[in-house]
Amino acid sequence: SMTRRSLSLMRECGRSLVEMHPDDGRRLGIGPGDPVRLTSRHGSCSFNADLTPRVETGYLYANFHFPESPVNVLIGDASDPIARIPEFKICAVQVERETA
Domains and CATH numbers, the chain: 3-97 (2.40.40.20)
Strand ranges (DSSP E) for the chain?
A: 17-20, 35-39, 44-51, 60-62, 94-97
Predicted pLDDT of residue 67: 63
Predicted pLDDT of residue 63: 80
- What are the pLDDT digits (tens) for 3-54? 556 655 555 555 678 999 999 999 999 999 999 999 999 899 889 999 999 9
* Pairing status of strand 44-51 against strand 17-20: parallel
Q: Report pTM.
A: 0.76
Strand ranges (DSSP E) for 4-43?
A: 17-20, 35-39
Predicted pLDDT of residue 9: 56
Q: What's the whole-number mean pLDDT along residues 90-99?
A: 91
Q: How far apart are CA 11 and CA 83, in angstroms?
A: 35
